[in-house]
Amino acid sequence: MIIPQLTEGDIKKLEESLKVNMDACIKHFERDIATIRTGRASTEMLDGIKVECYGQFMNIKDLATIAAPDARLITIQPWDKSTLGAIEKAIQTSDLGISPLNDGALIRLQLPLMSTDRRDELVKSLNKKAEDARIQVRNVRRDHLAAVKDAEKKKDVSEDFGKRLADVVQKSTDTFIAIIAEHTAKKEAALRAV
């Protein structure tokens, strides 16, 4: 995280720094919650799974065509059939909780209907990820407020301007916390939908 050197009149520089750093927190959160399975099949569920093949770890999407032809099915068709076993093994050892069906040319992931208990577990996981994202945003706020206080001590900014800068930091924090809450509510609604 890069925080600009603050001087009198630098509200724009501070706002840009806040936006860049807090946007990074939101992007990470969005990638994180995309892997949480809802009742519908989504190719994003496989994003975090690494396959060991060709002497290295690779993403499934770099090895195969992934599709979700219907609401409860994901198909994985590798470009090189020799990677089929490695892909199947990676899915089995992942925390997806789905057994892959390998027919020799294609892997099918049939998503079971989710129980209420499983939905509750996923909502808890979602809320934990949301809290982690809020903590990241608050850490950005803390670091920027420290930069404002430091600028006040060095007399680069006046105390009144320092208060204005602190207000800008808090408003930006509130905006990004609201974005996290919005994403969380949408994902929870998708999880609760039967």
Residue 1: inside a domain: no
Cβ 137 vs Cβ 22: under 8 Å = yes
* 5 found inside a domain: no
CA distance 149 to 143: 10
- The whole domain housing 161 covers 11-35+116-192
Of 92, 110, 128, the position where a domain reaches its end is 110
Q: What is the CATH number of the domain that holds 96?
A: 3.30.1360.40
- Do 150 and 98 fall within a single domain? no
- Cβ(130)–Cβ(184) below 8 Å: yes
Point out the domain boundary residue: 63, 87, 110. Answer: 110
CATH of the domain at 145: 1.10.132.20
pLDDT truncated to tens, each residue of the chain (194 aa)? Answer: 667 666 667 788 888 889 999 999 999 999 888 877 776 777 888 887 889 888 899 888 888 999 988 888 899 999 988 889 899 999 888 877 788 999 888 999 988 777 888 888 889 999 999 999 999 999 999 999 998 898 888 888 888 888 998 999 999 999 999 999 999 999 998 888 76
- What was the pLDDT predicted at 36? 77
Q: Are residues 29 and 49 part of one domain?
A: no
Beta bridge partners of 73: 70, 110
* 29 shares its domain with 53: no
Q: What pLDDT, on the 0 to 100 scale, is given for residue 42?
A: 79
Which residues does 46 contact at the CB level (< 8 Å), separation at least 6? Answer: 60, 61, 66, 74, 76, 91, 96
Residue where a domain terminates, one of 110, 131, 148: 110
pLDDT value of residue 75: 93
Q: Are residues 27 and 49 in the same domain?
A: no
Unique residue bearing structure tokens 């994985």? 76
